[in-house]
Structure 1
Amino acid sequence: MNGEQYDLIIVGGGIGGSAAALRAVQYNLNVCWFYGDKQTSKSSRSKWVFNIDNMLGFHEGILKGELLKTFKSPEDDDLRERINETHIHITGSAVLKNTRERIESDYSDNIDIIDKAALSAKREPELFLISDGEFEARSEYVVFATGVMDKQPHVMKERGGDIVDSTKWIYPFANRETILYCIRCEGHLTREDNAAVIGSGVAAEQLSFMLYERYGIKVSILTNGEELNSDDDTKKLLSEYKIGIHTKRISDVSGEKGGQLRRFVLADGEVVEVRFALVALGLHRVYNDLLIQLGAELDDEGLSDEIRHIRVSKKSETSIPNIFAVGDMAKRADEVVMKQIYTAQEYAVRAVDSIDYRIRSKKRKKILNQIGENY
């Protein structure tokens, strides 16, 4: 119902928002979930997670094993062979779809899901009001999980006699996990192949060192037209590790059908043969607009507001009491906030646990007060 008061409002339909929504309804809270729309989905990091294989339980071997136990009669031999030969990708999108389906199937009485992006956030005397421009929801507690988006490398590619300078040439490979964004999540994929790091800052240098030190592979840095300003120790390591430095603009990227990366072509015609590339260009956007509207404190002083994280406590609470921020958009002063699927879930659960405790404590106190009045 428009204008209804809820136990909890959740903003964001990625991993953090989905984990918060699932835990909240499992705790029997009355939830309004601003899931987002097609545009917010396109802007989500989860969109680019093609295969989750660095988490316990998220592996095709489990699914294949269960299917093979189910189809074990002689007439299923052909099917068993097909199962063994098929690579089953567990994608970020599949995890989100499954979580929403579970919530809608098992907890529909506990939640209103709004398939629009939340556009405004306001403080009222005792509640917060979140709106998509039409629908309004109120609550004492809000969890924001609106995420971030990475900068994408531009490629100057010739098409029909024209040079098209765009990030779109990267997408077919990013969507198939051969252009990567997280060394902790995906770095292991490079362990037997040549790899490139796209970037020109300290992050690009450090990631190239990590790839070489962990896997002993041949690594190249593609600065894409920028200069690499390395200190003396960095230069020594770049030389010792035989890391190639290529400063020309990227003019082409190509690979195999299915998205397996093969090579970059530079503006001077040089070809860099790799099977994986790790993007190290920093953030394009932190989706912090609603929290800025509410007046939450930002981290990353000196940067423009659009790429500043939200400062949170160890419970994922912002500077505004009862307002929480989870996932990649959050940053803590006391320790590094991990930015993986499993940590986004953990921070979301921490936030919902804190909210559930506060709601139950208020109810308990009210009951005790009423009991006391009757004695």
Structure 2
Amino acid sequence: MEQFDLIIVGGGPGGYVAALRAAQLKMNVAVVESTHLGGICLNWGCIPTKALLRASEINHMLHDLGTFGFAADNVRFDLEKVVGRSRAVSRQLSRGVAHLLKRAKVKVFDGRARLAGRQGDVHTLDVTKDGKAVATVGAKHVILATGARARYFPGLEPDGELVWTYREAMVPKEMPKRLLVVGSGAIGVEFASFYRNMGAEVTIAEVADRIMIAEDAEISAMARKAFEKQGIKILTGAKVGPLDKKDGTVSTIIETPEGRTELTVDKVILAVGIVGNVEDIGLEGTKVQVDRTHIVVDEFARTGEPGLYAIGDVAGAPWLAHKASHEGIICVEKIAGRDPHPLHPLNIPGCTYSRPQVASVGLTEEKAVATGRKLRIGRFPFVGNGKALAMGEPDGMTKTIFDDETGELLGAHMIGAEVTEMIQGYVIARTAELTEAELKETVFPHPTISETMHESVLAAWGEALHI
């Protein structure tokens, strides 16, 4: 049996980053990955979808050239090349991860790992590939970073042809003319944006009473208005009936508080959440607790079983790559005897790369009100920002929520162009525990859309200058 200081099961953004940090801390590290380094995020999620969304933004701009004084005839796209570029970006980055691990002297096993008991304080794992034994390895510390997969419900099962998960939605062979997206979280909204910007008729069905339920209600309402303006049909409080597949189309009845909608589309995308990959990894007989398909951990990613840890999507919400990576770093540093700060859930930014983009950190207004604090809330519209107007992006808003007594930044919520790049400023403010005093004194460059961040802070105290 080959032994290591640390074995990481899963080579996604949590697993491979944890491995690199462990190597920096002079640990002898192994990663077991069954499919592709970089995980779902790099190969089938965060990265390739952004490449697709970039293409759809270009398509939108090409059809809006008149706004900027240009004209073009016979604008068209080659879907195979659009998808091909997305896949090429993923391949490049996956090879980059392999190179980083090799350079760090992290041993990578190609296969599936399963816990196979303990020998003293050493956990043993069996590694197999296509049912055949590859190796037996052991380590005192094992991090489970097995990720998650798409959730689906009876009557709404994917078939890979007419009813898609995110995987099929990223590699379409032809552009559907009519599309139903079930679910309006980040994944659903991003796919709705992509396909609408590429010319498809898109309907979003969301079971909750509003779209993007994790976001601030005011931002959610603005997003809905923007999407509907683009021609996306949105049904909330929606119950999607069984899917009737016939003659290459899908028909269903969607019930909402307003009534019943009969819908026939070419494709359906299911984006109704995820479930953790906790099966067949050997948790039986351990003290690891699983709650609704996710492994229960403490603030340092420790499970109930000594020497076993879990990070990333398998360890629960928020299901974000940057959360997984930071969890991995914290976990490894704790193993190494360092004293890292626990990850504060409210300091994890959320980003949706639709058109318009949405980004947030901290408490929504509703949750801030529920704390019982006296609040100060500032808003600044993009229409009052010179750079946004110059870019032709006047639709958007920056909203900040403060504790009136202490000046603590409780939450920040943004919708509009490039907000996914700007939210980090507020994340830094929350992490450093800055107050409105420091944010007011911060100099923001002109002309930038980031000036809306400053104006929003000023607005919370009635001091905004440009509205």
* TM-score normalised over the length of structure 2: 0.48
Q: Deviations over 1:73-132 (max 9, x none)?
A: xxxxxxxxxxxxx8653766654432112222x22xx32211111133312212111122
Question: 284, 287, 300: which one pairs with 1:296?
Answer: 287
Q: Deviations over 1:145-193 (max 9, x none)?
A: 012212347889xxxxxxxx86222348744449687823663564695
The alpha-carbon deviation at position 196 of structure 1 amounts to 2.0
Q: Counterparts of 1:318 and 1:37 in 2: how far apart (Å)?
A: 25
Inter-CA distance 16–93: structure 2 relative to 1 (3 Å threshold)? farther
Of residues 288-297 and 205-214 in structure 1, the stretch that sits farther from structure 2 once superposed is 205-214
Q: Counterparts of 1:183 and 1:346 in 2: how far apart (Å)?
A: 22
State the match for 1:215 in structure 2: 224
State the match for 2:203 in structure 1: 195
Given that 2:113 and 2:125 are in contact with CA atoms closer than 8 Å, whether structure 1 keeps it comes out as: yes
Equivalent AA in structure 2 for residue 321 of structure 1? P
The alpha-carbon deviation at position 284 of structure 1 amounts to 5.4
| 2:251 counterpart SS class | strand
| 1:22 counterpart SS class | helix
Determine if the alignment matches structure 1 residue 265 to structure 2 residue 251: yes
Q: Deviations over 1:268-304 (max 9, x none)?
A: 9944569985521x5455325435235133243xxxx
State the match for 2:147 in structure 1: 147
How many residues in Structure 1 have an aligned counterpart in Structure 2?
Answer: 272
Question: 96, 112, 116: which one pairs with 1:117?
Answer: 112
Of residues 263-272 and 243-252 in structure 1, the stretch that sits farther from structure 2 once superposed is 263-272
Q: Deviations over 1:132-153 (max 9, x none)?
A: 2451222111111012212347
State the match for 1:48 in structure 2: 44
Identity %: 17
Of residues 212-221 and 132-141 in structure 1, the stretch that sits farther from structure 2 once superposed is 212-221
Equivalent AA in structure 2 for residue 147 of structure 1? G
Inter-CA distance 318–207: structure 2 relative to 1 (3 Å threshold)? farther
| 1:119 counterpart SS class | strand
Root-mean-square deviation (CA, aligned residues, Å) is: 4.3
Q: Counterparts of 1:180 and 1:22 in 2: how far apart (Å)?
A: 37
Q: Counterparts of 1:47 and 1:271 in 2: how far apart (Å)?
A: 32
Equivalent AA in structure 2 for residue 125 of structure 1? G
Q: Counterparts of 1:318 and 1:95 in 2: how far apart (Å)?
A: 31
State the match for 1:89 in structure 2: 86
| 1:357 counterpart SS class | coil
| 2:120 counterpart SS class | coil
Q: Deviations over 1:202-246 (max 9, x none)?
A: xx325646466533235455xxxxxxxxxxxxxxxx5xxxx6655
The alpha-carbon deviation at position 265 of structure 1 amounts to 3.1
The structure whose residues are more often helix, as a share, is: 1
Question: 28, 39, 58: which one pairs with 1:30?
Answer: 28
The structure whose residues are more often strand, as a share, is: 2
The alpha-carbon deviation at position 10 of structure 1 amounts to 0.9
Q: Deviations over 1:285-324 (max 9, x none)?
A: 5325435235133243xxxxxx521100111111123321
The alpha-carbon deviation at position 195 of structure 1 amounts to 3.4
| 2:98 counterpart SS class | helix
Determine if the alignment matches structure 1 residue 168 to structure 2 residue 160: yes
Q: Counterparts of 2:118 and 2:247 in 1: how far apart (Å)?
A: 48
Unmatched tracts of structure 2, length 5 or more: 56-80, 128-132, 171-178, 197-201, 214-219, 255-260, 340-467
The alpha-carbon deviation at position 23 of structure 1 amounts to 2.1
State the match for 2:208 in structure 1: 205
* TM-score normalised over the length of structure 1: 0.58
Given that 1:155 and 1:252 are in contact with CA atoms closer than 8 Å, whether structure 2 keeps it comes out as: no
Q: Counterparts of 1:45 and 1:352 in 2: how far apart (Å)?
A: 21
